[in-house]
Amino acid sequence: MILNEILSYGVIFLALAAFLAGFIDAIVGGGGLLQIPALFSVYPKETPATLFGINKLSAVGGTFVAATQYIKKVNLPKRLMIYASVCSLVGSFLGAWTVTQISPDFIRKFLPFILLLLLAFTLKNKNFGLTHQPQTQNLRSICFASVGAFGIGFYDGFFGPGTGAFFMFLFVRFLGFDFLHGAAATKIVNCLSNFAALALFIPTGHIHWGIALWMMSFNIVGGIIGSIFALRHGSKMVRVFFIWVVLALVLKTANDSYHIFDFIR
């Protein structure tokens, strides 16, 4: 059951996790790697749907604020971003609805290998994401952005881990963005996909508002600092964060599916 003592050790721990998650999320995504395990460790008896709802509401604050920070400093193609954002929103809502009908467990086994391929491609191509040559003015680019954002948005609503990395790869690999512009675009479309998931979590009561808003405030601070950090240090540093976050995702999802680190216990 959710505790009410705002100044308890567990809630302070959640505040720290939310801050770090907001910081990482603003740069490359992947904040759920910190927030979700923290929620499950503090509230092990709470229903998973409620904890996922808290995570989404907390994360959407930081993501939204980070997106506004990027918009002020980074020039993004408006037409393409509108298409991508709308498709991400619709895809995420449909994904969240689909997960109420069927289990997403079948994806779990494949996810580590998909992320590993993404990591290998990034490491192999040393200059990947360091130059900004956007391809946004033709129908092919609009279709790539729309179909890609819809598919990744659907995945976000249906399952979720690695969504930020997949959005980043879409913008950098297929649309010619550098990592800094890719981070900015990712925050915008990911913000919309988070709102869509909340559209299902909130009406069904899977939100504990006190804890979620407490965490959101720290997530927002982390998001502001993370976006300032990315804007100051540019694509090279964002690339480094991207590699480490994807590596962490590979290890975590592989352990979730195949329990490769169980021997440590």
pLDDT tens, position by position, 51-73: 888 888 999 999 999 999 999 99
Minimum mean pLDDT range among 141-150, 171-180, 189-198, 232-241: 189-198
Q: Which pLDDT value is given to residue 65? A: 93
Centroid of chain to Cα 194: 9
Task: Give 215-265 pLDDT, tens digit per residue.
Answer: 999 999 999 999 999 999 999 999 999 999 999 999 988 988 888 877 655
> Residue 180 pLDDT more than 80?
yes
Residue 30 pLDDT level (bands cut at 50, 70, 90): confident
Task: Give 121-151 pLDDT, tens digit per residue.
Answer: 999 998 889 988 887 668 889 999 999 999 9
Would you give the end-to-end CA distance of the chain in angstroms?
Answer: 27
Q: Which pLDDT value is given to residue 6? A: 46
Mean pLDDT of 161-170: 91
Query: Interior CA angle at 122 toward 255 and 239, to 5°?
Result: 95
> Residue 5 pLDDT more than 60?
no
Q: Which pLDDT value is given to residue 234? A: 94
Q: Which pLDDT value is given to residue 264? A: 58
Is residue 254 within 8 A of residue 112, CB to CB? The reply is yes
The domain limits of the chain are 9-260
> Residue 8 pLDDT more than 80?
no
Is residue 19 within 8 A of residue 215, CB to CB? The reply is no
Mean pLDDT of 5-28: 86
- Using CB atoms within 10 Å of the CB of residue 48, give its burial: 0 to 12 exposed, 13 to 18 middle, 19+ buried: exposed
Cβ within 8 Å of residue 32, ≥6 positions away: 21, 55, 59, 160, 161
Centroid of chain to Cα 56: 10
Q: Which pLDDT value is given to residue 44? A: 85
5 or 113: which leads in pLDDT: 113
The b-or-e profile of 151-177 (16+ CB within 10 A means b, else e) is bbbbbbbbbbbbbbbbbbbbbbbebbb
Decide: helix, strand or coil at residue 35. helix
Instruction: State the Cα–Cα distance between residues 206 and 210, nearest whole angstrom.
Output: 13
> Residue 105 pLDDT more than 90?
no
Q: Which pLDDT value is given to residue 228? A: 95
What mean pLDDT, rounded, does the chain reach?
Answer: 88
